[in-house]
Homo-oligomer: A and B are copies of this chain.
Amino acid sequence: MRKLLSNCAILASGDEGFEFIEKGFLGIDGDTIDYIGGEKPIGYGEERDMSGAMLIPGLVNAHTHTPMTLLRGVGSGLPLQSWLFDTVFPIEDRLTPALIRAGSELAILEMLSTGTTSFTDMYMEPGETAEAVLASGIKANICRPVQCFDPSEPVEENFRVRESLALYDKYHNAGNGRLKVDFCVHAEYTCTAPVVKYYAALVRERGGNLHIHMSETKKEHGECMEKYGVTPAGWFAGLGAFDSRAFAAHCVWVTEEDMEIMKKYGVSAVHCPSSNMKLGSGFAPVRRMLDAGLNVALGTDGAASNNNLNMLEELHLASLIHCGYTGDPTTLKPAEALKMATVNGARLQGRGDTGQLRVGKRADIAAVSLTAPHMRPNLDPLSLLTCSAQGSDVVMTMVDGRVLYDHGKFPTLDAERIYRDVDTAVGALYK
């Protein structure tokens, strides 16, 4: 079935960067883009008028913890230790698989309604998230994070490792590859060397990605130096964690040498601007990471430390904050920020077939309305998207050519049922 999106602005990807088409047409054959241009093509059975909208590549949220929508905003304004130990952890202890399912489903509603077509998740009970992903039509890379608090425990006996392997066997490449399973070492400060070595071997053997938190806080980075005499990046590299595909969330405190290590091994970084500011972690050296040749993607982190999963907001923050803290308004160009939010994230996920509006790529698309007062006039489509657009300006989100969000409606999901489940979850967690 071929269908055509008509009469809309298109932010296409050309060989030299983004190419803006003011009034164009985008053709889709099944799950793949087969035409982009200013002339109306023939041969499409279904046509949809998209006047007043701009098509952009679907956004990729490269680091989140979806079930934490159930903790949205809790403990705001508390110091980090009190936020984590007195607020977040006790609530997480009360989470059940059913509640995790509700939280992931709410997250998927939020992401689809704000233009995200693929996300990378890290949380407990990821089988629940997997089922939510498969039912919704969105794409995701999920993982079961491993932590190890008893260094004498054989790695194979850590229940998290067993869950991680079972998850991979059951769900990797499910839904025609929409769902991928990554492996995950939570962080240097929550793991031991034997676990990292075990996972490094696992990824070398099975493929996939290794997902880690790295150098998020000054404390974490400094304590690793004290304990091991190397930075977290040096520690992971020394244990073979970077011998296969790997990516590191946050990277706020990475050094020039860390960047060299990441470049050498092809380790991607995920920048999480909201979370890093909200938790007082600092400003990741995004300009320097890009200059070092690293693949830098963008993520929301979980809703407890954000407080939402709105990639247009992260795009906006990434565009602004680095100019603010360097004192140089040219620090990050809108096109660079948009690539971080789209194609760089897709690359990190191992999805080379998406992240760009380009013939031959998957039809993973968000349509952003240009009709609200704050979207007028459209003098510079890229800066309009990075600095003016709100998540709510997204009017349609499509994954593999299938419409998953359409002007407030979710064709594949029962939003009202999910909202009821969220209310039930809140009752169970907080009352």
Contact = CB atoms under 8 A, between A and B. Distances in A.
Nearest to A305: B329
A423 B378 CA distance: 10
Contacts of A74: 379-380
A323 B278 contact: yes
B430 A373 contact: no
Given A113-B372, A283-B325, A379-B72, A308 B388 contact: yes
Interface in A372-415: 372-374, 376-377, 379-380, 382-384, 386-388, 390-393, 415
B324 A373 contact: no
Contact of A277 (B321, B373, B384, B391): B321
Contacts of A393: 392
23 contacts: A70-B377, A71-B379, A72-B379, A74-B379, A76-B382, A77-B333, A77-B334, A106-B373, A274-B387, A278-B323, A280-B324, A280-B331, A281-B324, A283-B324, A307-B387, A307-B388, A310-B374, A317-B317, A317-B320, A374-B391, A377-B422, A379-B430, A392-B392
Given A76-B380, A280-B326, A310-B374, 11 more contacts: A74-B379, A76-B334, A77-B334, A113-B374, A281-B324, A306-B387, A307-B387, A307-B388, A313-B316, A321-B324, A377-B425
Interface stretch (A10-18, A53-61, A78-86, A345-353): A78-86
A73 interface: yes
Interface string A151-178: 0000000000000000000000000000
Interface in A106-142: 106, 109-110, 113-114
Contacts of A324: 276-278, 280-283, 321
A329 B110 contact: no
B388 A79 contact: no
Kindly report how many copies of this chain are found in the complex they form together: 2
A327 interface: yes
Nearest 6 A-B pairs (CB), nearest first? A277-B324, A392-B392, A76-B383, A73-B383, A110-B373, A109-B373
A102 to B, nearest CB: 10
A390 B390 contact: yes
A321 B321 contact: yes
Contacts of A384: 72-73, 307
Nearest to A280: B329
